[in-house]
Amino acid sequence: MSAAERFIHEAMEVIIDEAVKKATDVQEKVCEWQSPEKLRELLDLELKDGGESDSKILQHCKNAIRYSVKTSHPRFFNQLFAGLEPYSMVASFITEAVKTSLYTYEVAPVFTLMEDAVLKKMMELIGWDEGGDGIFNPGGSMSNMYAVNLARYRFCPDIKEVGLYNAPRLVMFTSQEGHYSISKAAALLGLGTKNVYASILPPADMLLSLSILVQGAVPFFVNATAGTTVFGAFDPVDEIADICERHSLWLHVDACWGGAALVSNQHKHLLKGIHRADSVAWNPHKMLMACLQCSAFLIKDKTSLLQRCHSAKASYLFQQDKFYDVSYDTGDKSVQCSRKPDAFKFWLMWKALGSSELERRVDRALAMARYLAQTFKKREGFHLLMEVAPVIKERMMKTGSMMIGYQTHGDKPNFFRMVVINPQVSKQDLDFVLDEIHSLGKDLR
């Protein structure tokens, strides 16, 4: 192993220098843009019959980091994740090195218990005083999909066996600004995207809207959003819960983005009523900065609905004659087989920082966003939504000075969506963003 150890040591130095130090240095570029054609040449992608020397492989590692986007850079605002969290990064290295899968306690004892501990703590913050159940998934889209499937299973467990053949037309409601994964779930689950009704939640008269929209159809699921993808807006969960209770609809809250506010005493009111949800999706890899991916799916049910809905009882994994309590084997709660121990990435950083520091970070990010909004209002040339965003974006990428996403919305033309997460972000960085947009776009008016 000594050659391998030497290689690992050298590679670690590269990772620390290039992907940790340099990537977080505000003096460095956010990205070193290359066209696909050019980058293909630079990377020497071809896989050959013979192998390459360790020094060449280290050069490939350097190139991979160099031409990757520095999502930890203080001027990366392009996604709903950002920043480098060293504790979480170390935890993710450990999960890679330990190389295990979360199906049975036997093969992942530590991570099984850590997942359980993290889920319990998250349920506490949601306000489920009597606990519940949950699982970490590869992304929030999967969690939203799980919610739809569980709702359908609770509504009619037979569908698992007999399918939707001869079933009534099942329909779902989601927030007008809800994430597209609800629609993807409807497609995948055989429910159909046309049976997803996107509306402002709750509608002025939900009863009326139910009868008008879905004549002859059976509603079973409502997705409310706590922190929408584009505007970061929060649906009034409490009011929606009233309606769901009245009509026995499953209430899911997609809090992938906004769940972070639950750690803040100042901001948790945004999710008022979330304890009444049947299920919650919450991604610590977004505002709480755990490494990718770290996505929790939580349900209030304590009758093993998750397991009953998804189980297939594979005899080679989930033997019932084991010498330990097999309720610790969580694999059959998942539609995956092999599943990564993502909870550890959140557990270790939570342990290191404590809830109080998580709270400070969320409060700081929201204060920074407020600062930007206020400063923005005072700036000339920023009030118009003109068709310049794609051009400014191109210039921004080619300069490598910062990264911000843009999009259209409704009748509005393209605009920039600012996402503030990273505690390294200073007021100076935000001022820079406005200066840079101004400077990149000033000839376009």
CB 132: neighbour CB atoms within 10 A?
21
Cβ contacts of residue 277 below 8 Å, gap of 6+? Answer: 126, 224, 237, 241, 251, 252, 253, 300
Residues 177-206 that bind a copy of itself (CB under 8 A): 179-181, 183-195
> Residues binding a copy of itself: what is the number (CB under 8 A)?
158
Kindly state the smallest distance separating residue 417's Cβ from a copy of itself, in Å. 6
Alpha carbon distance 354, 123 (integer Å): 17
Residues 222-241 that bind a copy of itself (CB under 8 A): 229-230
Alpha carbon distance 119, 253 (integer Å): 16
Provide the mask over 383-402, with x wherever binding to a copy of itself is found by CB under 8 A and - wherever it is not.
Answer: -------x--xx--x-----
| One residue of 27, 129, 130, 161 binding a copy of itself per CB under 8 A | 161
Q: Which lies closer to a copy of itself via its Cβ, residue 202 or residue 423?
A: 423
Distance of CA 171 to the CA centre of its chain: 25
Q: What is the largest CA-CA distance in the chain?
A: 73
Stretch that binds a copy of itself, among 37-45, 202-210, 237-245, 377-385 (CB under 8 A): 37-45
| One residue of 26, 28, 127, 160 binding a copy of itself per CB under 8 A | 160
Residues 270-299 that bind a copy of itself (CB under 8 A): 285, 291-293, 295
Cβ contacts of residue 410 below 8 Å, gap of 6+? Answer: none
Stretch that binds a copy of itself, among 59-67, 206-214, 233-241, 270-278 (CB under 8 A): 59-67
Residues 69-128 that bind a copy of itself (CB under 8 A): 69, 71-72, 78-79, 81, 84, 86-87, 89-94, 96-101, 105-114, 117-118, 121
What's the Cα-to-Cα distance from 22 to each of 13, 34, 87, 328, 414, rounded to whole Å? 12, 19, 18, 42, 32
Residues 319-338 that bind a copy of itself (CB under 8 A): 319, 321-325, 328, 335-338
Helices then strands, each counted (H, E), the chain: 14, 10
Kindly state the smallest distance separating residue 303's Cβ from a copy of itself, in Å. 18
User: Rule CB under 8 A: is residue 51 a binding residue for a copy of itself?
Assistant: yes
Q: Which of 175, 317, 302, 314 is nearest to 232 (CA)?
A: 175
- The radius of gyration of the chain from alpha carbons, rounded to an integer in Å, stands at 24
Kindly state the smallest distance separating residue 378's Cβ from a copy of itself, in Å. 27
| One residue of 21, 269, 364, 379 binding a copy of itself per CB under 8 A | 21
Stretch that binds a copy of itself, among 36-44, 232-240, 274-282, 362-370 (CB under 8 A): 36-44
Residue 48: CA atoms inside 13 Å, Cβ hemisphere, count? Answer: 7
User: Rule CB under 8 A: is residue 307 a binding residue for a copy of itself?
Assistant: no
